[in-house]
Chain A
Amino acid sequence: MNRGLLIRAFRESWPTTLLLGLVLMGVEAALAFVLPKFGAQMSEQWLQMDFARGIIQAMLGTEIGDRLGPQMFQSIAWVHPVALALTWAHALVCCTRVPAGEVDRGTADVLLGLPVSRWEVFISETVVWLLCGAAILTAALVGNLLGAQGVPPEHRPQLSRLFIVLANLFCLYATVGGLAWLVSALSDRRGRAMTIIFLVLLSLFLLNYLAQFWHPLERIAFLSPLHYHRPVTVLGTGAWPWKDMGVLLASGGVMWLAGGAVFSRRDLCTV
């Protein structure tokens, strides 16, 4: 790690983090405020309809079973496509900065002309990304808590359980980031890298979603990182999903390491 590189990475990452953090805070506040009310108005009869159940189950990535209640609606805020898109967008922007972004904007020669190893660059950028990731998820938590102030106390989620959901979401964020580092390390064009990562993430999102409707896909649903992020279970039981978090961190870590190895070995300069 290098202090100068940390400063440089932070200077370039904070505007995106601030912007996406504020938007995410607003989205979470709105979801935490609206969803429990929506749930209260929704008749259980309506939820007995296969189609409606299917959509909710697909979003939550799990069988609803007898878990109809405030927790189920609170948990939607943490798997909502808009919330996921914002956190993933942040990972995508931060993790494609080096090397794809540097090569693409022509600053790679200046960066690599400095007396730092490529691993130092990679690790410094990763540290800033993780700190910014923690900041953006904290903003989401703050938004969620603010939104929950508008609903009756019995419909508010427990803070301790929210922390577990947030930790799980952070692991999911780390997996997406790991993938982004790997693709970025293999690429010279940031736009191309982001398109590839977006398409992969979209496929994995759809895989998790469609597996609830089409049973043959269930066999490979484990490939989607969303398979390991089930806030409805956490908010219902309060148990730490260690296994899910472990799978997410391990897969993210392996991809990050592979990205670092590629970055440290490949030819690199402004094209």
Chain B
Amino acid sequence: MGSLIQLDHLTRRYGRRRGVERVSLSVPEGALFGFLGPNGAGKTTTIRVMLGFLRPTSGEARIFGLDCWRDSKAIKRDIGYLPGDLRLPAWMDGTNALSIFGAVRGRDLAGAGRELAEKFDLDLRVKVRDMSRGMRQKLGLILALAHSPRLLVLDEPTSALDPLMQQTLHELLRQRAAAGHTVFFSSHSLGEVEQLCDRVAIVRAGEIVADESLAVLRDRAGHDVTIRWKDDAPALAIEPPEFLKLTRCERAVWQGTLEGPVRRLVDFLAGKSVEDLSIGRPDLESLFRRFYEHERKDRQ
């Protein structure tokens, strides 16, 4: 399967201020791709370059094999985009928004829009000025999804949705991905990316620090380990091995991250008086924290 989105050493600066630095990533067709990072990491800047709002300072951004700046119009025919901070003209309601967006795209979006509005439980007759933030977000999603685009670019799409609607959206995105559409899902909510996406890139301070499948990412991140010793005397005498990075080392309890295979730990503990042992996969939340630990330390 070819790459639908291809970013090569993409750099975008705002004068002296950093936007993104040498970002390279590749999103295959049909993927549910999570783009993770905290606020200000460069997620929105990357998306804006992809959509041709910003010109790259250096490097290249291509979608469908076309240049994101030069061929922006052609690219956007097959893209559904939801901005992070969605604002629509106050006078619009759902019906005339669909009619205008349909006229711009040269397609009738009324039918598809109504179906989506039913799924999202949105009254299309309400004017934007009278909508809550959640309702506006639903309308933005309907406008992004109604023309069944080949690529969906969603910048923090669930930020104003209640959990039920989040589930509805996840379901819809899974269906679209199963039908061969690609979803580029930017978020700082790690839980939902873990639930939804099969591949993830993590952006930190404008740079990509990881770009792999969730399974590989978890493997790379090691295991969370808790060892409870039978009595504290031997624990004090034992030196922790190199492959066990301890974050908590009390008299009877060790807690930390195991790097490498579990077998090494089992071998190490053999014959020692262990009362309880817990080995688990880290959730994405702690994985994410680990990636940012360095940044925090640098700041300190």
> Which of A50-58, A114-122, A177-185 is found at the contact surface with chain B?
A114-122
- How many B residues are at the interface, by size bracket? 20 to 34
Closest to A108 in B: B53
Q: Within 8 Å of chain A (Cβ to Cβ): is B72?
A: yes
A115 and B73 form a contact (CB under 8 A): yes
Q: Within 8 Å of chain B (Cβ to Cβ): is A109?
A: yes
Contacts A11-B91, A113-B81, A113-B83 given; indicate if A5 touches B53 (C-beta within 8 A): no
- How many A residues are at the interface, by size bracket? 20 to 34
B53 and A115 form a contact (CB under 8 A): no
B51 and A112 form a contact (CB under 8 A): yes
Q: Within 8 Å of chain B (Cβ to Cβ): is A268?
A: yes
Which of B100, B101, B102 has the most CB atoms of chain A within a 10 A radius of its CB?
Answer: B100
Closest to B147 in A: A115
| B residues less than 8 Å from A5 (CB atoms) | 104
Closest to B49 in A: A267
A residues 1-52 near B (Cβ < 8 Å) are 2-5, 7-8, 11-12
B100 and A269 form a contact (CB under 8 A): no
Q: Within 8 Å of chain A (Cβ to Cβ): is B52?
A: yes
Which of B77, B86, B104 has the most CB atoms of chain A within a 10 A radius of its CB?
Answer: B104
Min CB gap B90→A, angstroms = 9
A109 and B101 form a contact (CB under 8 A): no
Q: How far is the CA of A267 from the CA of B68 in the complex (A)?
A: 13
Q: How far is the CA of A253 from the CA of B149 in the complex (A)?
A: 38
Chain A residues packing against B (C-beta within 8 Å): 2-5, 7-8, 11-12, 105-110, 112-117, 120, 267-270
* Nearest 3 pairs of A and B residues by beta carbon: A4-B104, A4-B103, A106-B87
Sampled A-B contacts (25; CB under 8 Å): A3-B103, A4-B100, A4-B102, A4-B103, A4-B104, A4-B105, A5-B104, A7-B99, A7-B103, A8-B89, A106-B87, A108-B53, A109-B48, A109-B81, A109-B83, A109-B85, A109-B87, A110-B140, A112-B52, A113-B79, A116-B73, A116-B104, A267-B54, A268-B53, A269-B54
Extra contacts, 6 of them, besides A107-B89, A268-B53 (Cβ < 8 A), are: A2-B104, A5-B104, A8-B100, A11-B100, A105-B89, A113-B76
